[in-house]
Structure 1
Amino acid sequence: MSNFITSGTTACSCFGTGVKKSTLTRIVYIFFFLLVSVVAYVMSYWTFSWFNNIDVLKVCMDNDECVGTLVVFRLTFGLATYHILLALVMIGVQNTFDTRAKFQDGWWPIKILLLAGIILASFFIPNKFFVVYGWIAIFGAALFIIIQLVLLVEFAYSLNEGCVARIEEEGHYSKRWYFTLLVLTFGSVLAAIAGCVLLLVFFGKCNINQFFIVFNMAISLIIGVLSINEKVREYRPSSGLFQSGVVMLYSTYLVYSAINSEPASMCSTFANSNPRESTIIIGAVFTIISVCYSAFRASDSNELLGSDGHSHEYESLPNLDTGDEDGRLEDDECSHVTYNYTFFHITFALGAMYIGMLLTNWSTIGGVSSSTSLVSVDSGLVSVWVKMISSWLVNLLYLWTLVGPLLLPNREWH
């Protein structure tokens, strides 16, 4: 652990039995991400009085939502900028003989000060900048949602294949994995259908909501039936109802979240009584899981990046053991990096933008001009349509995994 508090000489104890160095590094970055996210959440709700003396926030005229939005934008902008800078610094790093690899895994005091300095500096940026940044963050958050959806579909396939592999290993001596897969499959499908019915009962009082709910249910059921079609399974043997149930359940949640973000003028339902608090926790949980999973999966995904990110030139070099005699920290990057550093930080930057949008209910800032210093915050419809399009997109992504092998049989599919 000495590498955490020093400027960081990379020890190469490749035969250790403890925590891998690359894993520990990513956990630390996740911790910083969660810390800033929690601080942003707290400040967006309960710390308005702390900012009374900050000139750039006085334009809110005691509007708590305005103050909260500006504070969250500044904190998440600082976090996103921090990771964008690191992504630029780490471009092209393929092996641990590159000095920049040591900066990725060490130099933590300097990087902590850098993050704190960027966030502090963001409170001196004029509000006009965040009018533009709000829209940049919307597009960045949308890209992060796409990453979320890709990882969700991948996770569903991986979990299904894991259960099937256990079933094949244990044969007929144990039925527990049959039962586990059966419960997960029908549980997710029934939960999704029940969710759609409840949405119709409680929120289906206007045409737009009825369309959102019924269309989502119809397309999910159609894709579910297609997933067990014999022709599809011939080209995609791993397809099945379990993946369909996971996708259906998540898309149903997105529909609920979209309806819950509707302004009262669009469709008056009791969902509008507390639109932010009722979904903020669920949304934050999905975000945290996505960021953590993407930190360990998407950053080194061969299919997503189009390359393996490894430098085979150094694979034949000898392993050096220069520290960690107790073997508690295993250096798994002695010759080449185990994940793409640049994509890793890009993913976190997009995640920071998504957190900013989530905590502000996809707000945008307006009303800042040369003739007036007043700031207005608009939210509602952007959130609704981003979430609805996401629900359709996750179904389309899953549909492509089913029909893609059928349409392009000569391509290798994972």
Structure 2
Amino acid sequence: MESPGPTADYERSNTFKVDTWFSQFRNGSNPWMARYVYGLMFLLANLLAWAVRDYGNSVLIEMDRLKGCDGSHDCLAAEGVLRVSLGCFMFYFSMFLSTAGASKLNESRDTWQSGWWSAKIVLWIAFIILPFLLPSAIIKLYGLVAHFGAGVFLLIQLISIISFITWVNDCCRSSKSERCQIHTMLIATTAYVVSLVGIILMYIWYSPDPSCLINIFFITWTLVLLQLMTSVSLHPKVNAGILSPGLMGLYIVFICWFAIRSEPVAGNLCTRKAEASKHRDWLTIISFVIGVLAMVIATFSTGIDSKCFQFKKDETESEDDVPYGYGFFHFVFATGAMYFAMLLIGWNTNHTMKKWTIDVGWTSTWVRIVNEWIAVCVYLWMLVAPIIWKRRQTAESVV
């Protein structure tokens, strides 16, 4: 009888590794892989909400419980998005309640977080279906609450991004290596150049005429905020360097561009790109796909960044500690469910959204602009707050 060759041994080894991986994943010992599954479920909810908005009216209009819309096409589309969003919110909020406070691996909440997938998939489907059985009055109430929840999501995302920028800046400043300092200067210079080029292009594309006062104001004020952040960061008492305001400049220029892009095309003569593309084409579809993926990725990355919201930074970690905050992770996804609903309906249940569009409307524009201003205020406060607290402590010690 011939002995099995090396190929057979290799195949058995790989089969054993795969079986072990699936066993660990099913039994709740792989929290890192679990987060990707939750992200995939969130993406599916986004796509379902989009499909209901753009292609589900013929089905929704036949449902007796949706007659509160009086058969209105736009109302049904917005309500369909809100119903999917509500189901997604209920799932992640229930996961938040059941995993909040988990601190150690292999405890019951950790097992629930990383395992029991058959039960959780059934739970997710049930939560998605349940809102379609509710009356329109409850859905409208949820739509009002979702505005607040989406704002909470934007604030959490904002703090996470600013914390990451300050962390990168501190790491580069703490290094005494000459090479690292050169790299820091190159990155900062590139950030400023890209920011200024972006501002110039926005002037060319979105304010071709002096009558475009609102766009001129948005772009000019962004330039002023960029200069303000740089001045405060380079002030001798702050001395935060040039990298963090450069990266923040990229961020606020992007937000300003996104805000102006959210302006409705109809009757908007201040957008040359809108005039050149009055019909839905493949660029619109690509923009929509990128927008959805960017939103899912932003929710995912913010959800695993719970450490920037910890008040006690000096706690030592042990090997059996959970790798990320499970409760915070699901809370971000719950507010993210409200956020994607606002993007798909333009922050207004009575707003008409065309197919393959996302976050379009004057409400969306002003939400983005206010988000930009809040970002600058939070960043400046993070620069100035240590100085203020130090002065207060000095004054109290003197007294």
Question: What TM-score do the two structures reach when normalised by structure 1?
Answer: 0.74
- Alignment partner, residue 290 of structure 1: 298
Q: Given residue 242 of structure 1, which amino acid in structure 2 is its aligned partner?
A: L
Q: What is the rounded CA distance, in whole Å, between the counterparts of 1:411 and 1:288 in structure 2? A: 42
Correspondence list, 1:8-407, <5 A: 8=27, 21-56=30-65, 59=69, 61=71, 63=73, 65-96=74-105, 98-163=107-172, 168=176, 171=177, 175=179, 177-178=180-181, 180-204=183-207, 205-233=211-239, 239-263=240-264, 268-270=269-271, 280-281=288-289, 283-298=291-306, 301=307, 304-307=309-312, 333=320, 336-365=321-350, 380-407=361-388
The CA RMSD measured in Å over matched residues stands at 3.4
Once the two structures are TM-superposed, the CA of residue 243 in structure 1 deviates from its matched residue by 1.6
Q: CA deviation at 1:35?
A: 2.4
Give 1:189 deviation, angstroms.
1.5
- How much has 1:199 moved relative to structure 2? 2.2
Does the CA-based 8 Å contact 2:25-2:33 persist in structure 1? no
Change (3 A) 1:68 1:408: same
1:49 offset after TM fit, Å? Answer: 4.2
Give, in angstroms, the shift of residue 352 of structure 1.
Answer: 1.2
Aligned-partner SS, 1:358 = helix
Q: Quick check: 1:261–1:383 contact (8 Å CA) kept in 2?
A: yes
Whether the aligned pair in 2 keeps the contact of 1:145 and 1:390 (CA below 8 Å) is yes
**CA distance in structure 1 between the aligned counterparts of 2:314 and 2:104, rounded to whole angstroms:** 9
Which letter maps to 1:304?
F
Change (3 A) 1:310 1:295: farther
Query: Shift in Å at residue 263 of structure 1?
Result: 4.4
Partner of 1:17: none
SS of corresponding position for 2:103: coil
Bigger helix share = 2
Aligned partner of residue 197 in structure 2, secondary structure: helix
CA distance 1:279–1:216, shift in 2 (3 Å): farther
Kept in 1: contact 2:302–2:332 (CA 8 A): yes
What one-letter code is carried by the residue in structure 2 that aligns with 1:356?
Answer: A
Percent pairwise identity: 26
The 1:183–1:365 alpha-carbon spacing in structure 2 relative to 1, beyond 3 Å, is same
Counterpart contact for 2:50–2:344, Cα < 8 Å: yes
Contact 1:5 1:107 in 2 (8 A): no
Aligned partners of 1:25, 1:309: CA distance in 2, in Å? 27
Q: Helix, strand or coil: the match of 1:232?
A: coil
Q: Give the AA of the match of 1:293.
A: S
Q: Which runs of 5+ in 1 are unaligned?
A: 12-20, 234-238, 316-331, 367-377
Measured in 2, the distance between the counterparts of 1:78 and 1:388 equals 29
**Alpha carbons 2:194, 2:250 under 8 Å: kept:** yes
Deviations 1:4-38 (A, max 9, x none): 664x3x55xxxxxxxxx332222222222122223
Tell me the CA shift for residue 392 of structure 1: 0.2
Q: Partner amino acid for 2:295?
A: T
1: distance between equivalents of 2:313 and 2:111?
Answer: 20
Contiguous gaps of at least 5 residues in structure 2: 1-20, 352-358, 394-399
Determine the C-alpha separation between the residues in 2 that align with 1:257 and 1:220. Answer: 17
TM-score by length of structure 2 reads: 0.77
Q: What is aligned with 2:9? A: none
Q: Supply the distance in 1 between the matched residues of 2:98 and 2:392 (Cα, whole angstroms).
A: 35
Cα distance change on mapping 1:309 and 1:383 into 2, 3 Å: farther
Please tell me whether the aligned partners of residues 84 and 345 of structure 1 are also in contact (alpha carbons under 8 angstroms).
yes
What is the number of equivalent residue pairs in this alignment?
355
Q: Which amino acid aligns with 2:249?
A: M
Q: For residue 75 of structure 1, what is the amino acid of its counterpart?
A: V
Answer whether contact 1:186 1:245 (CA < 8 A) is retained: yes
How far 1:98 sits from its partner (Å)?
A: 4.4
Listed one character per residue, the Cα deviations across residues 297-339 of structure 1 (whole Å, up to 9, x for unaligned) are: 12xx2x5243579899xx7xxxxxxxxxxxxxxxx53xx4343
- Contact 2:25-2:114 within 8 A present in 1 as well: no
CA positional deviation for 1:144 = 0.7
Worse-matched range after superposition: 33-42 or 390-399: 33-42
Could you tell me how far apart the structure 2 residues matched to 1:92 and 1:309 are? Answer: 18
Say whether the 8 Å CA contact 1:76–1:352 is kept in structure 2. yes
* CA distance in 1 between partners of 2:131 and 2:392 (Å): 47
Q: Larger relative contact order (C-alpha < 8 A, sep ≥ 6)?
A: 1
Distance 2:90 2:314 in 1: 24
